[in-house]
C-alpha cells in the first residue's frame, strides 16, 4: 500500500531539521512504497497550499546541513482559529489542502506551538505525527529535543571565548543565552562554560544576591566574573508582575535586552567594569553536532515506523535513552521547565555557582 506523506518544519529553525527530514524520508522509502510532499514555510504553506513533490535525490547531502530545506515560518497557534483581514479560515484551509495534496499523513517538525497546531489538526481528523525540534529543550514528553545539543556546544564556546577577554581585562561579562520560558540551554552551557552566575527564567533572581556573588569573587582575588543569563530571566519583583506589566516596566528601563540592563546595574551597584554579550541567532545556526544528527535521524526513523503501523496522532520523543512516542493530546500545550531540584541545579549549587536566589 502506497502512503503519501507531507512534511513541514514550523517555528524557529535549528540544527538537525534536515537530518530529521532525511531520516523520515529514507526510512519511509526503505520500509514501504511512498511519495513525499514537501510543504513550504511550515503551516503557512499548508494554509496557502504551497508544496512540491519531492524526489529521493532531494534528501541526499542534507545530513550536515543546518536550517531547513523546506523553509519555516512562525504561525502562532493562538491565531489558528482567528479569521484575520485576509478572511482565511486557517483550519479549514489546512484540512482542505491536506485533501488536495492527497496526503495519508502529515509529519510536523517543530516546538511547542507546532505541536499544539499538530494536535489541533489531529483532533480535526487528520493523520499527524509530531517531531520535537527546539534548542530550548522544553517540549514535554521527551528527555531531549534535537537542536539542543548543538546549541549547548555553540553557547558553551561563546562562554569559553568570553572567558579570555574577561580575564585579560578584569571585567564582568554578562552573556545572554536564548531561552525565553525555559532555562535548559543557559543552565547546561553555563555549567559547561564555567560561568560563575547562572540566571534562569524558572528561578527569579535577587539583584543584590547577584551583586554579592561578584563581590565575594573579588574578595577571593578573582578579577573577573562570568554571568550566563537566559533571555527570559527575571527579578523577584518582575516575577510578581503580569506579563503586560513586566513588558511595560522593561520598556521604561530603556534596555532592549536583559544582559544590557544587568550589565549596567552591576556596574552601578558593584563598581565593576561590565559588558553585555548577545550571541543571538548564532546559537541556532550552522551544522548539527554528531549527537543531534544521530538523534534527529532516529526520531525520523521512528516517525516512519509509526506511519508504517498507521499509529497517528503521536509525538515522538526520547525517554530513558529509548526513542518512544506519546499522544499529541498529552504533549501539546505543556512546557518542560527546569525543576528546582534538577540534578544540574543541584550540581551548580554544590560547586558554589550563584543562581541569584
Q: Where are the domains of the chain?
A: 3-147+288-331, 151-284
Query: What amino acid positions are annotated as catalytic residues?
Result: 136
Torsion angles phi and psi, residue 78, rounded to 5: -60, -20
Which residue reads 502562532 in cell numbers?
A: 76
pLDDT mean across residues, the chain: 94
Find the helix or strand (DSSP H, E) in which 235 lies. none
Query: Which fold is adopted by the domain 3-147+288-331?
Result: Rossmann fold (3.40.50)
CA distance 246 to 257: 13
pLDDT tens for 62-103 read 999 999 999 999 888 888 888 888 889 999 999 999 999 999
Find the helix or strand (DSSP H, E) in which 108 lies. strand 105-110
Quick check: do 3-147+288-331 and 151-284 share a fold?
A: yes
Cβ–Cβ contacts within 10 Å for residue 281, how many? 10
The CATH number assigned to the domain with range 151-284 reads: 3.40.50.460
- Please compute the mean of the pLDDT values over residues 111-120 and round it to a whole number: 94
pLDDT tens for 331-349 read 998 999 999 999 999 999 9
Amino acid at each position: 500500500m502506497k502512503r503519501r506523506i507531507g512534511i513541514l518544519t514550523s517555528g524557529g529553525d535549528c540544527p538537525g531539521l534536515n537530518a530529521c527530514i532525511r531520516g523520515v524520508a529514507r526510512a519511509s522509502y526503505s520500509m514501504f512504497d511512498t511519495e513525499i510532499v514537501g510543504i513550504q514555510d511550515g503551516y503557512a504553506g499548508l494554509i496557502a497550499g504551497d508544496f512540491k513533490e519531492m524526489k529521493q535525490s532531494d534528501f541526499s547531502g542534507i545530513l550536515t546541513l543546518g536550517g531547513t530545506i523546506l523553509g519555516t515560518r512562525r504561525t502562532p497557534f493562538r491565531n489558528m482559529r482567528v479569521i484575520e483581514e485576509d478572511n482565511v479560515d486557517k483550519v479549514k484551509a489546512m484540512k482542505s489542502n491536506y485533501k488536495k495534496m492527497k496526503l495519508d499523513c502529515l509529519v510536523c517538525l517543530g516546538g511547542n506551538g507546532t505541536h499544539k497546531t499538530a494536535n489541533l489538526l489531529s483532533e480535526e481528523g487528520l493523520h499527524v505525527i509530531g517531531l520535537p525540534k527546539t534548542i530550548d529543550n522544553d517540549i514535554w514528553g521527551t528527555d531531549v529535543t534535537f537542536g539542543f545539543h548543538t546549541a549547548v556546544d555553540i553557547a558553551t564556546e561563546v562562554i569559553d571565548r568570553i572567558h579570555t577577554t574577561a580575564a585579560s581585562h578584569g571585567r564582568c561579562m554578562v552573556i545572554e543565552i536564548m531561552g525565553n520560558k525555559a532555562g535548559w540551554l543557559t543552565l547546561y552551557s553555563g555549567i559547561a562554560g564555567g560561568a560563575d552566575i547562572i540566571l534562569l527564567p524558572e528561578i527569579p533572581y535577587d539583584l543584590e544576591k547577584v551583586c554579592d556573588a561578584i563581590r565575594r569573587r573579588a574578595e577571593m582575588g578573582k578579577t573577573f566574573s562570568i554571568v550566563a543569563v537566559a533571555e527570559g530571566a527575571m527579578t523577584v519583583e518582575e516575577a510578581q508582575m503580569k506579563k503586560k506589566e513586566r513588558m511595560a516596566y522593561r520598556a521604561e528601563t530603556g534596555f532592549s535586552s536583559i544582559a544590557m540592563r544587568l550589565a549596567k546595574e552591576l556596574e552601578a551597584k558593584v563598581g565593576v567594569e561590565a559588558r553585555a554579550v548577545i550571541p543571538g541567532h548564532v546559537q541556532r545556526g550552522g551544522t548539527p553536532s554528531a549527537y543531534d544528527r544521530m538523534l534527529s535521524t532516529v526520531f525520523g526513523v521512528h516517525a516512519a515506523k509509526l506511519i508504517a503501523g498507521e499509529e497517528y496522532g503521536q509525538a515522538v520523543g526520547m525517554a530513558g535513552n529509548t526513542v518512544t512516542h506519546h499522544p499529541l493530546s498529552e504533549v501539546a500545550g505543556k512546557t518542560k521547565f527546569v525543576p528546582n531540584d534538577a540534578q544540574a541545579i543541584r550540581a551548580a549549587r554544590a560547586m558554589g555557582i550563584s543562581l541569584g536566589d
